[in-house]
Amino acid sequence: MADVARSAGVSLKTVSRVINGVSTVDVAMAARVRDAAGQLGFRANFAASALRSGSSSATIGLLIKDLSNEFYATIASGVAEVARAHQTQLITAHSGENAEDEMEAIFDLCRRRVDGLLIVPTGGNHSALRSEIDLGIPMVFLDRNPVGLDADSVVIDNYAGARDATLTLISEGHTRIGVLVDTLNMPTMRQRVEGIHAAFAAAGLPWDDTLLSTNVRGPAEASIAVERLLSLSVPPTAFFCGNNRSSIGALRTLWEQRRTEALVAFDDFQLAELMPRPFRVLRYDNRALGTLGAELLFRRISGEIFDPVTVVLSTELCPRGIQNFQ
């Protein structure tokens, strides 16, 4: 802060007043302070002041990708349940898959003096968050492990789930499996594809890269991907969908064309059992991602000290859809 004061030609007190949003500071002077702070890469660390005063905001933050997606909404619901039990308010922020937006949202939540953060991370590097953790803002990562940072996390066993489901399909005679996944920048998608490759290797079968469709984010992209795969000279006899939204689009396209290819979806979804054709899902307790992560965070907030832990949730292959629909 002293460097900012020198660069702006003002006192430390003035810098402090600008940072804390005091409205009576001269407009031009405040602008000089903000410009100097930006040039020097200075960011007020409210966590440090809260730590010094021993105060608690009785709030936690949740940074999540997309609340309109049932998967993320269920995680948020689990977090909210635990927060209520601890008489703590929950602030939710969104970042999508943009690493810059993610870091900006995290630092904004830190400025709001939250007692801790739960983060569904992007594929970006998170090493810059070590200073925030060291200054007293514990963080727990959900669904994905952070990159460049050793921290608490609650994740799904993506690799084993995808591998075992693929081995099941192979055991049923499916040696050409169309795979639909979101961007491979997402660690979860990479792990699922790696699990599929491992299953083919274990079965002594070659993998055909033409069967992989990436950047399939929702039903529309899934429909296009299924159409492409079905048009191959040797089309797949089964499909593996990397998330709940892509599975909906794939199922719709297969149903419209009265196709009978097998399908496995990673992630369950509401009313899946009422879909007018049989398929299977890799089910896991996604609400537990939120509840277990929040309980772990409150242990940190209470002052417990222990090495970073990773909680891994297993998956289960379950039948869905109307099994004998005509």
* Average pLDDT of span 144-167: 95
Q: Report yes or no: 159 and 138 within 8 Å, Cβ to Cβ.
A: no
What is the number of other CB atoms lying within 10 angstroms of the CB of residue 138? 22
Mark out the alpha helices in the chain (DSSP H runs).
2-8, 12-19, 27-40, 46-53, 70-85, 99-111, 130-134, 158-171, 187-202, 219-230, 244-256, 286-301
Determine which of 22-26, 137-141, 207-211, 307-311 has the lowest per-residue pLDDT on average. 22-26
pLDDT at residue 50 in the model: 47
Q: Which two tokens stand for residue 75?
A: 């995680």
Report how far apart, in Å, the C-alpha atoms of 291 and of each of 111, 117, 206, 312 are: 25, 13, 40, 13
pLDDT at residue 87 in the model: 94
Q: Which residues of 62-100 are buried (b: 16+ CB within 10 A; e: fewer)?
A: bbbbbeebbbbebbbebbbebbeeeebebbbbbbebebe
pLDDT at residue 51 in the model: 46
Q: Report yes or no: 216 and 181 within 8 Å, Cβ to Cβ.
A: yes
Q: Please state, for a pLDDT cut of 70, what percent of the chain lies above it.
A: 90
Identify the CA nearest to 71 among candidates 212, 277, 241, 296. Answer: 241
Residue 19 scores a pLDDT above 70 = no
pLDDT at residue 290 in the model: 96
pLDDT at residue 158 in the model: 97
Selected residue with higher pLDDT from 320 and 5: 320
Selected residue with higher pLDDT from 2 and 106: 106
pLDDT at residue 47 in the model: 47
Using pLDDT thresholds of 50, 70 and 90, give the confidence band for residue 99: confident
Q: Report yes or no: 42 and 1 within 8 Å, Cβ to Cβ.
A: yes
Indicate the average pLDDT of the chain.
87
Residue 164 scores a pLDDT above 60 = yes
Residue 41 scores a pLDDT above 70 = no
Residue 43, C-beta contacts closer than 8 angstroms, at least 6 positions apart: 37, 107, 111
* Average pLDDT of span 100-122: 88
Amino acid in the structure at residue 182? D
Complete domains list, the chain, with CATH: 2-40 (no CATH), 46-155+286-312 (3.40.50.2300), 158-285 (3.40.50.2300)
pLDDT at residue 272 in the model: 74
pLDDT tens-digit map of 195-237: 999 999 999 999 999 999 999 989 999 999 999 999 999 999 9
Selected residue with higher pLDDT from 275 and 62: 62
DSSP-assigned letters across all residues of 152-197: EEEEE-HHHHHHHHHHHHHHTT---EEEE-S-TTSHHHHHHHHHHH
Report how far apart, in Å, the C-alpha atoms of 142 and of each of 152, 156, 284, 323 are: 9, 9, 14, 34
Selected residue with higher pLDDT from 114 and 275: 114
Amino acid in the structure at residue 272? A
Using pLDDT thresholds of 50, 70 and 90, give the confidence band for residue 132: confident
Q: How many Å apart are CA 42 and CA 324, to the nearest integer? A: 64
Q: Which two tokens stand for residue 320?
A: 């869905």
Sign of CA dihedral 200, 205, 207, 211: negative
* Average pLDDT of span 174-186: 95
